[in-house]
Amino acid sequence: MHAMLPLLDRLAFPALNRGELEALQVNLTYVCNQRCLHCHVNAGPTRKESMTDESLALLHQVIDAHPVHTLDLTGGAPEMHPRFREIVMHARREGLRVIDRCNLTILSEPGYEDLAQFLAEHQVEISASLPCYSRDNVDKQRGDGVFDASIIGLQKLNALGYGKEGSGLVLNLVYNPQGASLPPPQQALETDYKRHLLEDFGIVFNHLLTITNQPIARFGSTLVSKGQFNSYMQLLRDSYRAENVAGLMCRSLISVDWQGYLYDCDFNQMLDLPLELQSQVISRQRPHLSDLLNATLAGNPIVTRDHCFACTAGQGSSCGGALNS
């Protein structure tokens, strides 16, 4: 006789509804100078997708029309979009907090040598991917030479004041596990990062953000090839914590793809699960930035699937790190 499965395994992810819109997370481009194993976007040097001028104009209108306070720029390497700096300057003029999801190595690429200075001048908050303080682990996940280039990037940012107390220049690092496991406790890992990076390289930063790997796209394919997909999904389900639901980023954030279409989160974007606008007449088959100009989103149902368990597992996970660290 089969053992009874946990009750959660026989239930869908809990129904969710939106609160007030606070942040726009915009995927400017899938183009990237790296090709990381954990990347849920499948970004890389050969990708071509980038946000059009039409969608960028609408983005500026949405920023002007909605009381959002954060513009979160991601990719790919968002800085590789040809109008990245224009977008940043517009948002900062409007008083928005701007976050750049930076891979650090872009700061040393030809043509981007002055990028760090630009980010500092406009007080852009940096969330920089550094999956370990060990060279071998980083290069295994992100490619040979990435660790050394990342350290150079961090030192360049520190020299401008990033991560230093009282500078007003925020530098957060982002950790993803190497494989099919949950991140360790965020606060303890942050302490380890700060000690190692300071002792070994003289590097300082503000906070470490731990993010659970999503079982989709490139990482999902890796799980399947290793025969680990089902066990990883079970781990996410078994680690579900209801207290994490209230803090999920999809309740206050909208993800915008390079074509201007809207999603409840970046992961739904990669799974082609568009946002569902209720009681709204939309201009296209799926919601677009143009529809956001007049839409009321509070109370709107959120599109959920089994991958959402990654955000509620253990200490919880969001683009801002653990929900209960």
Give the helix/strand (H/E) hosting 207.
strand 207-210
> Mean pLDDT by 10-residue block, N- to C-terminus, for the chain (325 residues)?
42 87 94 65 76 93 88 93 95 96 93 96 96 77 80 97 96 91 95 96 97 88 92 94 94 94 93 81 74 83 94 94 87
Q: Compute CA 93 distance to the chain's CA centroid, rounded to the nearest angstrom.
A: 23
Give the per-residue pLDDT at 39: 57
* CA atoms of 51 and 260, how far apart (whole Å): 7
Given this model, what pLDDT does residue 47 score?
86
The pLDDT, as a whole number, for residue 279 is 55
DSSP line for 252-271:
TEEEE-TTSBEESSHHHHHT
**pTM exceeding the 0.85 threshold for the entire prediction:** yes
- Check residue 7 and give its pLDDT: 44
Angle at 99 between CA 241 and CA 265, to 5 degrees: 45
Whole-number Cα distances in Å, 256 to 80, 88, 246, 260: 17, 16, 22, 6
Residue 14 CA from chain centroid, whole number: 22
* CATH number of the domain located at residue range(s) 7-312 in this protein: 3.20.20
Instruction: Quote the CA–CA distance of 294 and 291 in Å, as a whole number.
Output: 6
Identify the pLDDT of residue 137.
Answer: 76
pLDDT of 239 reads: 95
- Residue type for position 325: S
HSE-up (13 A, CA, CB side) for residue 218: 12
Residues 236, 223: Cα–Cα separation, whole Å: 13
Contact 239, 6 (CB under 8 A): no
Are the C-beta atoms of 203 and 155 separated by less than 8 Å? yes
Residue 218 in contact with residue 39, Cβ under 8 Å? yes
Question: Structural domain boundaries of the chain?
Answer: 7-312
**Host H or E run for residue 88:** helix 84-93
